[in-house]
Structure 1
């Protein structure tokens, strides 16, 4: 029988690159935690701003500052986790921050035997408050069904990185985050899928225990997204039971959209068709139907207006 440690050490992992303006907020949110048995590992990808100076202003001996010359999120997270000592691992991005009871509530659930904890985050938009009412206030998750892997793979990623706390044992079982460049858009989703193949002991806390700052100027690279989702598809579809009769429509619709954006209309239509006929979820179907309509409009426009 496993011995329960009532006050276990939690290792908080923050990778950062040129976030001197937001990092203090993240660090202070850890210092303000009601649960105090933690260590903080900051992994800096050799920022060109004054991150060094900012970190040096915090005199708490629980804070550790490492540098990683390779600018890859998965590598930085793995370095931080492997340098840490905690029984539990908590992830926080350097532009996000937690509410004071985040660790307290998470450790309470982990001590019940769960191996992976997550929760909703408040969305924070970097524009005047006057316009915030136009946007959703929460970055919502969902409670995953008993077969966590099937739910995640068939119904999309339901887990926000800056909400996650998991056991070191589970991290070691999957050998951490995959350090593959083309997975940079979904390295977290890939890790959750591999963890879900190991255990169903995932727990969603209903309370919203953190803040997520939206990056309105972020852009995805469709070519990398295509490679990443094709990889996820080929890697994990073999774990679907043959009797299920369902496939990951959200991946098909994402591939259809990305292929359309790079003007590969044949593949866009192929994945749209797969989604429409194999997904049980309405939203991916709607997205795929929209792709079909846009592709047909583009085709007709080229036929009749471009000589």
Structure 2
């Protein structure tokens, strides 16, 4: 990719926010450097690291790696900094505790290059544990015919390491909040649910298309600390992210808001199950069905499985864990079959 002054720019800018990730950064960086597609830059945003993360980066003698330092501003702030300095036509996000299949950039670049209406390309993700061991489950979302309702209710992108986005898309939805001197792409007031808010802003305010590719090319790490996070705060953050766009698009949220809330409560019920907070899981799944019973008709199998797992909370942990693994694998198989 060349500018008008014949400077050669990378086609893809890979943005890696970093905050105390010394345990994972090598695997993350290597998964980028081992890509079959080579025309990229790697922007590592030091978001106020206090551990040895930066010392690990000094071992890499690759001119494509750039380190940008800033005081801690959170994930949204680190991504925003990376976007502002990015030179690529396409922006790929990779959280520092996740990693990629070597073919990821090649597949997404091809996907975006052949469809000029496509703004956001994403893929399914496979879950791994803290030792990078596959868990046998993952996210296998819908891939085509994605609209704002799909994004609000089901968030097909799934996680922040899955999408590759045209930089023009992000420029189109940038905003100033009056509190900061810089333009934002991800809302820095959000510490959670910043992804869904950004994808929804794109879907509601632009004509760009969202579409996925079939291969699972992202490895998403399920951290024990993440599973035990405060689910009440997660739900409040999600509500704030959704409400941010509700005034401008009132008709849309009146039609789909309660359904999206039901899906979010069901998701949090599964998170509660994974962190062994079984009674909260039972409460959340009943709250989800009460909020909007349409989750029973739109996704009867997955909703029923979540409900059944919650009811089994009285079983011994060993028995329950076996049933949970079988259930999650069943859900994964159902996701693969329904992927379009």
Specify the TM-score bucket, using the shorter chain as the normaliser: 0.7 to 0.9
Q: CA RMSD in A?
A: 3.6
Q: Is the 8 A contact 2:144 2:211 kept in 1?
A: no
CA shift at 1:154, angstroms?
A: 2.7
Q: Structure 1: give runs of 5+ residues left out of the alignment.
A: 1-6, 295-307
Match of 1:3 in 2: none
1:190, CA displacement in angstroms?
1.2
**DSSP-derived class of the 1:208 partner:** coil
- Is the counterpart of residue 273 in structure 1 residue 269 in structure 2? no
1:16-74 residue CA offsets vs partner (Å, 9 max, x unmatched): 11112311221122111121111110011222222222111212111110112124100
- 1:199 Cα deviation from its structure 2 partner: 3.1
Specify whether residues 285 and 44 from structure 1 end up closer, same or farther in structure 2 by C-alpha distance, changes over 3 A only: same
Counterpart of 2:292 in 1: which secondary structure?
A: helix
> Displacement, 1:96?
1.5
Which of residues 193, 209, 219 is equivalent to 1:211?
219
Instruction: Give unmatched runs, 5+ long, in structure 2.
Output: 1-8, 175-184, 272-276, 314-340
Q: Number of residues paired by the alignment?
A: 280
> Which residue of structure 1 aligns with residue 158 of structure 2?
159
**Map of 1:33-52 to 2, 5 A cutoff?**
33-52=35-54
Write the deviation string for residues 253-280 of structure 1: whole angstroms up to 9, x where unpaired. Answer: 468999x9999xx999776522226763
Is it true that 1:238 corresponds to 2:246 in the alignment?
no
TM-score w.r.t. length of structure 1: 0.76
For residue 44 of structure 1, give the secondary structure of its aligned residue in structure 2.
strand
Deviates more, 1:248-257 or 1:139-148: 248-257
Shift of 1:147: 4.5
Kindly tell me: are residues 223 and 59 of structure 1, through their superposed partners in 2, closer, same or farther at Cα, counting changes over 3 Å? same
* Corresponding residue of 1:251: 264
Tell me the secondary structure at the aligned position of residue 195 of structure 2: helix
2: CA distance, partners of 1:243 / 1:122: 32
Q: What is the distance in 1 between the residues matched to 2:140 and 2:287? A: 30
Matched-pair contact (CA < 8 Å) for 1:41–1:66: yes
Matched, 1:228 2:240: no
Structure 1 partner of 2:332: none
Find the partner of 1:121 among 125, 131, 134. Answer: 125
- Could you tell me whether the CA contact under 8 Å between 1:276 and 1:285 is conserved in 2? no
Deviations 1:104-163 (A, max 9, x none): 11111111122111112232223696xx6xx42x42232245252111213345433212
Question: 2:161 aligns to what SS in structure 1?
Answer: helix
- Distance in 2, Cα, partners of 1:85 & 1:16: 20
Structure 2 distance, partners of 1:271, 1:212, is 26
Spell out the pairing of 1:87-236 with structure 2 (5 A cutoff): 87-112=89-114, 113=116, 114-126=118-130, 135-136=135-136, 138-175=137-174, 176-180=185-189, 183-197=190-204, 198-218=206-226, 219-234=228-243, 235-236=245-246
Distance across 1 between alignment mates of 2:287 and 2:195: 27
Which range moved further: 143-152 or 36-45? 143-152
- In 2, the alpha carbon distance for the partners of 1:118 and 1:88 equals 12
Q: Is the 8 A contact 1:141 1:158 kept in 2?
A: no
